[in-house]
Each structure stands twice: as structure tokens, then as C-alpha cells.
């Protein structure tokens, strides 16, 4: 780690210590569940929260889509998953001081690797730590997969009980670091303590990746003493959080919005959609600027395996050249030059225009998947944040299609 980053992290640690002192170490009066991982964090946090609420427990949550503290919604700043240590401790204090009930209070917190590395979670007493997976992401920051896994394990070290995915590559490293007595494993293919055989359930969530999210939530809630009967019932009624497999239009064709922005998440969402779609899959996506560029070719490759048409566009390019970002994505697509010629790869820099194009070209039975932005409310260009709403963009495109059809 470069010296400037170490110095910055010391600053973050000092702020975290100050925040804990200022708010009087509020996690001591709470049961805190931390959820980390590359993909699936928000869904897993939301599912644990939903199960706890179904069990009539006093629960709050903080995730990338916002905070729900004592039943009240609080937005987070742009592009933030885990807030600053001052904001976290303030939320913890608000949760702990809820006077409506003297019973035990729970908080489920989404924790990123950056937050762990920068001590934003310092001072929090985690009762349960959950790891969903560790896949290709943030290597611009962590430099190697091993460093990335080691950073994620910081949450597990801080937790009394750890819920870990034994099918994930990270488990080979984790099991050498975390004592076996603290490990509760879940999975589909390897022998684990929690799997589809020892708990049966029905769910509205699709794909193997959501089976893992469900099993992770089962492990966490069992560790908190919630009965299997309540857990099963809650899983059945759970609706995906905002921007996660969210069908926003369904008529002759479908439009789905999802936050997927890594090669693994592309693979996991597109595979089940390929068998679900009656027509073509039209995938609208980009990749963030000034972030891990090594994942971009892998994203292109993953999409090209399942998408019939790829529309490459902007996704927070920041000050990086959008042409360079898209070029990186295309480099991972086999025969991309041939696909460009037959119009199955289209480059449209303006995201609204890209979504317009996808919806205007849709035929009966097609499925349009728009990934990367989902719940986020802004687009980052240079040093500016431009207001952005993925849902409004889809509405505008649908209106444009309707207007065009009426003219014809």
C-alpha cells in the first residue's frame, strides 16, 4: 500500500475513534450484523432485515440503497455504500436510542472492503459477520485478489460468528485465517453446515447467486436465534430491493434494471435470463471510469456469452475517456469486429440515447437488461455529479417508442 494511502487510513482511524467517543460506542447496545462481499451484499442485507422484521424484532439496516433506521428512510450521499464513520456511529446511536421498545435492537450493515481498509467500521461490535463472495473487483485499490480477500476477512475477525460461502474461491484463503470454531459455512456444491438440503424454501429471486444470498441470510438469522419456520416464510414474501432484478416494464417485451457491475454479477444474472427470455437479450451497460480497468474485458466477455445485442454506454466515466472505457470492454469480446458489423455491438455514449435505442429496437419476447446504475441518483462526469434516474430514463424511452408507434 502506498504511503499516501497509509497516511489517509490513519486519518480515517482517528475520525472513527472520535466518532465512537462522540456517540459513546453505541454498538455496545445493539446486535450488529455486518455483510461484506463483492456481489450480493445489498440483497443479503435486505433479506436479513426482512427476516428480522418478520420475526417481529426491532431491526434497522444500512445498505447501498439507503438506511432504514427505526422504520424511517434516510438517503446516503452519491456513490456511497458504507457511510463515513461519523455517519455510521450516528445511525447506530439513533437505532440504540429508539424509545419505542426496550427489547433487543438489531442493525444490519453493508460493509465494503474500502470501509474495512479505511477503518470506517472501527469500534463496531459485530455479533455476526457475513461474506457473500470475493470476485474480480477493486483490484485498482487492493492490487491483488489475495489482498482483497484479506481485507474482507477483517470483518470476520471482528465478528463473534462468521457466515462464509464455502463454494467461493475466497474460502481457500479464509479457512486458513479464521478459526474453524467461528465458521458457519454455506453453499450449494460443497459439504456445508447450511445448504438447500437442510432448509427448503420458495423464493421470487432467480439464479444460483441468489440461492447463495438466501443461504447466507439463513445462516445469519439462525445465528441470531430466528426459527426456520419464520425464516422460510420471510424468504417466500421477500421482494428484491430497488435495482436488483427489478422488472420495470412487462408487456410485449420486458425491461429489467439491475446494479450488476462486475464480471461475476454479469455471469450470474445473464445465465438464468438466457433461459427465461423468449426472444433476444439486449444488454445496456458500461463501466465506471477511474476504477478497476482490468475487469472491463471480462465484463465484455461475460455479456457476449449471453447477450444477443450489447449497447455500450456511459456509467460514471468521471474524467476518463469514454472511448477508452468502451474499447477496454470490447477487447474482451470474441469476434467483436464482426459483431460491430452485424450491429450486435452498438456504441452510444449518451446513456439516455442508449436506453432509447434498446427500447426502440425491442421485439416481442425480447428482454432488455440495463445494468450498472440502478438506484443511483447521479452520473459522474469529470468532477461533476449530473442528476440521473434510471427509472425515468426508461419511462422517457417507452414514451418515445409509443409516440413513434402512434405516428406509424
Q: What SS3 class is residue 124?
A: coil
- Specify whether the CB–CB gap between 216 and 132 falls below 8 A: yes
Q: Is the per-residue pLDDT at 199 higher than 80?
A: no
Tracing cell 482511524 back to the chain, one arrives at 13
Q: Is the per-residue pLDDT at 100 higher than 80?
A: no
385 Cβ partners below 8 Å, 6+ apart?
78, 378, 379
Do the strands 246-250 and 254-258 form a parallel or antiparallel pair, or are they unpaired?
antiparallel
Domain ranges of the chain: 3-237, 246-407
Count of CB atoms within 10 A of residue 291's CB? Answer: 19
From CA 212, how far away is CA 192, in angstroms rounded?
12
- Specify whether the CB–CB gap between 258 and 243 falls below 8 A: yes
- Specify whether the CB–CB gap between 300 and 332 falls below 8 A: yes
Helices (H), 23-144: 41-54, 85-96, 113-117, 139-142
pLDDT for 403 equals 93
- Provide DSSP, 219-236: HHHHHTT--HHHHHHHHH
From CA 157, how far away is CA 154, in angstroms rounded?
5
For the chain, counts of helices (H) and of strands (E)? 15, 16
pTM of the entire structure?
Answer: 0.90
pLDDT for 6 equals 72
Give me the sheet containing 281-285, strands edge to edge: 246-250, 254-258, 367-371, 281-285, 309-312, 345-347
Tracing cell 475517456 back to the chain, one arrives at 321
Count of CB atoms within 10 A of residue 249's CB? Answer: 17
The phi and psi torsions of 127 (rounded to 5 degrees) equal -75, -40
- Specify whether the CB–CB gap between 109 and 124 falls below 8 A: yes
pLDDT, tens digit (0-9, with 9 covering 90-100), for 181-196: 899 999 998 888 898 7
Q: Is the per-residue pLDDT at 30 higher than 90?
A: yes
The phi and psi torsions of 360 (rounded to 5 degrees) equal -70, -30
Largest CA distance in the chain: 68
From CA 141, how far away is CA 384, in angstroms rounded?
22
Q: What SS3 class is residue 44?
A: helix
- Specify whether the CB–CB gap between 209 and 135 falls below 8 A: no
Considering only residues 275 and 392, tell me which one the structure prediction assigns the higher pLDDT.
Answer: 392
Average pLDDT over residues 364-372: 97
**Please, what's the b/e burial string for 114-152 (b: 16 or more CB within 10 A of its CB; e: otherwise)?**
ebbbbbbbbbbbbbbbbbbbbbbbbbebbeebebbbbbb
Tracing cell 425480447 back to the chain, one arrives at 366
Average pLDDT over residues 137-150: 78
From CA 310, how far away is CA 266, in angstroms rounded?
12
Q: Is the per-residue pLDDT at 235 higher than 80?
A: yes
The hierarchical CATH code for the domain 3-237 is 3.40.1190.10
pLDDT for 101 equals 59
- Provide DSSP, 292-346: -GGGHHHHHHHHHHH-SEEEE--S--BTS-HHHHHHHHHTTSTTHHHHHHTTSEE
Q: Is the per-residue pLDDT at 197 higher than 90?
A: no
From CA 146, how far away is CA 39, in angstroms rounded?
17
Average pLDDT over residues 28-32: 96
From CA 113, how far away is CA 139, in angstroms rounded?
11
pLDDT, tens digit (0-9, with 9 covering 90-100), for 310-351: 999 999 999 999 999 999 999 999 888 888 889 999 999 999
Domain at 246-407, CATH class: alpha beta
Q: Is the per-residue pLDDT at 307 higher than 90?
A: yes
Amino acid at each position: 500500500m502506498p504511503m499516501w494511502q497509509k497516511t489517509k487510513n490513519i486519518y480515517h482511524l482517528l475520525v472513527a475513534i472520535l466518532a465512537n467517543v462522540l456517540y459513546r460506542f453505541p454498538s455496545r447496545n445493539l446486535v450488529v450484523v455486518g455483510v461484506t462481499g463483492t456481489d450480493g451484499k445489498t440483497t443479503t442485507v435486505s433479506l436479513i432485515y426482512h427476516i428480522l422484521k418478520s420475526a417481529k424484532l426491532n431491526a434497522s439496516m444500512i445498505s447501498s440503497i439507503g438506511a432504514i433506521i427505526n422504520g424511517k428512510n434516510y438517503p446516503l450521499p452519491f456513490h456511497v455504500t458504507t457511510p463515513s464513520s461519523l455517519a455510521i456511529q450516528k445511525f447506530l446511536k439513533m437505532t440504540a436510542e429508539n424509545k419505542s421498545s426496550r427489547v433487543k435492537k438489531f442493525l444490519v450493515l453493508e460493509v465494503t472492503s474500502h470501509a474495512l481498509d479505511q477503518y470506517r467500521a472501527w469500534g463496531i461490535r459485530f455479533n455476526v459477520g457475513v461474506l457473500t463472495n470475493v470476485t474480480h473487483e477493486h483490484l485498482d485499490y487492493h492490487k491483488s485478489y489475495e489482498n482483497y480477500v484479506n481485507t474482507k476477512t477483517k470483518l470476520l475477525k471482528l465478528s463473534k460468528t462468521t457466515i462464509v460461502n464455502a463454494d467461493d474461491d475466497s474460502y481457500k484463503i479464509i479457512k486458513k485465517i479464521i478459526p474453524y470454531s467461528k465458521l458457519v459455512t454455506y453453499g450449494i456444491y460443497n459439504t456445508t453446515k447450511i445448504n438447500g438440503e437442510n432448509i427448503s424454501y420458495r423464493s421470487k429471486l432467480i439464479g444460483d447467486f441468489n440461492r447463495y444470498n438466501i443461504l447466507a441470510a439463513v445462516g445469519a438469522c439462525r445465528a441470531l436465534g430466528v426459527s426456520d419456520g419464520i425464516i422460510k416464510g420471510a424468504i417466500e414474501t421477500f421482494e428484491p430491493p430497488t435495482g436488483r432484478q427489478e422488472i420495470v416494464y412487462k408487456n410485449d417485451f420486458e425491461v429489467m434494471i439491475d446494479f450488476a457491475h462486475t464480471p461475476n454479477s454479469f455471469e450470474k444474472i445473464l445465465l438464468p435470463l438466457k433461459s427465461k427470455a423468449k426472444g433476444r437479450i439486449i444488454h445496456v451497460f458500461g463501466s465506471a471510469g477511474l476504477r478497476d480497468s482490468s475487469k472491463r474485458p471480462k465484463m465484455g466477455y461475460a455479456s457476449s456469452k449471453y447477450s444477443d445485442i450489447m449497447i455500450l454506454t456511459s456509467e460514471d466515466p468521471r474524467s476518463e475517456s469514454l472511448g477508452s472505457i468502451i474499447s477496454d470492454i470490447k477487447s474482451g469480446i470474441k469476434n467483436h469486429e464482426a459483431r460491430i458489423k452485424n450491429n450486435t455491438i452498438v456504441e452510444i455514449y449518451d446513456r439516455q440515447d442508449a436506453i432509447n435505442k434498446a427500447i426502440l429496437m425491442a421485439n416481442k419476447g425480447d428482454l432488455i437488461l440495463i445494468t450498472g446504475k440502478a438506484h443511483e441518483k447521479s452520473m459522474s462526469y469529470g468532477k461533476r455529479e449530473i442528476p440521473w434516474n434510471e427509472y425515468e430514463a426508461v419511462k422517457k424511452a417507452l414514451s418515445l417508442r409509443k409516440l413513434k408507434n402512434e405516428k406509424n
